[in-house]
Amino acid sequence: MSTGEATEPCLDGWLAEHGAAPLSDRRPVLAYGSNACPAKITWLRETLGLAGPAVVLRARCTGLAAVWSAGLRARDGQRPAVLAAAPGVIEQHAVWFATPEQRRVLDECEGRGSRYRLVCLHGSERIRLEDGSQPQHVLAYAGASLQRAALLVGGRPVRCVDVDQRTALALSGTSATSDGLTYAEVCGEPHHDLAGCGAI
């Protein structure tokens, strides 16, 4: 299920009717790049066994951006997106309220620990859902290697909204040494409320 307007009681009612975990048992995960695409959810179901309703809400994100990474994806030769700080920038992404099982599927897909790290973003007031709410302790997948560092062209990252995939493949530049974000890397399973996250 994907919705941008349902309120929590209504959504929880729908989830209960379908025997699915309520929002209180789900953790918000920032979905950007291909993870915000409905077709990716279908691929995750068919390829990695994703189960249950996918609760994905549109979100307005301030101060961060999806940018093209320095390396290409081994599976299909495409240039993946990675997250980077972008002061003053506003982008539309999504927040996936994932069950622990769904998040572990995302871990596998993203290559957690090698290609991407699972992190808890700080200052998550930068992420606002369409109903005006601001989810706290939002998880995200941040680059974990030089291949998943932001590509710098002329010393600046290249936003995905500015350059399409075909054009991005032809870009050349250097790898950023930092994504500029403030977060805590999550080791193992996230705490239920993630309140113990400390910045790194």
Largest Cα separation within the chain, whole Å, is 53
**Is residue 164 assigned to a domain?**
yes
Q: What are phi and psi of 167, to 5 degrees?
A: -70, -35
With tokens 């706290």, the residue in question is 136
Residue range(s) defining the domain that contains residue 127: 8-185
Q: Please report the pLDDT score of residue 136 as a whole number.
A: 86
pLDDT, tens only, 129-152: 998 999 989 999 999 998 999 999
pLDDT, tens only, 88-124: 999 999 999 999 999 999 999 999 999 999 999 986 5
Full-model pTM: 0.88
**Is residue 193 assigned to a domain?**
no
Tokens of 59: 């979100």
Q: How confident is the model at residue 192 (pLDDT cuts 50, 70, 90)?
A: low
**Cα–Cα distance measured from residue 34 to residue 32, given in angstroms and rounded to the nearest whole number:** 6
Q: Please report the pLDDT score of residue 173 as a whole number.
A: 96
Number of domains, the chain: 1
**Is residue 165 assigned to a domain?**
yes
Q: How confident is the model at residue 178 (pLDDT cuts 50, 70, 90)?
A: very high
Q: How confident is the model at residue 160 (pLDDT cuts 50, 70, 90)?
A: very high
**Is residue 145 assigned to a domain?**
yes
Mean pLDDT value across residues 150-176: 97
**Is residue 1 assigned to a domain?**
no
Torsion of CA 9, 106, 39, 49, to 10 degrees: -90
CATH number of the CATH domain containing 44: 3.10.490.10
**Is residue 190 assigned to a domain?**
no
pLDDT, tens only, 24-75: 999 999 999 999 899 999 999 999 999 999 999 999 999 999 999 999 998 8
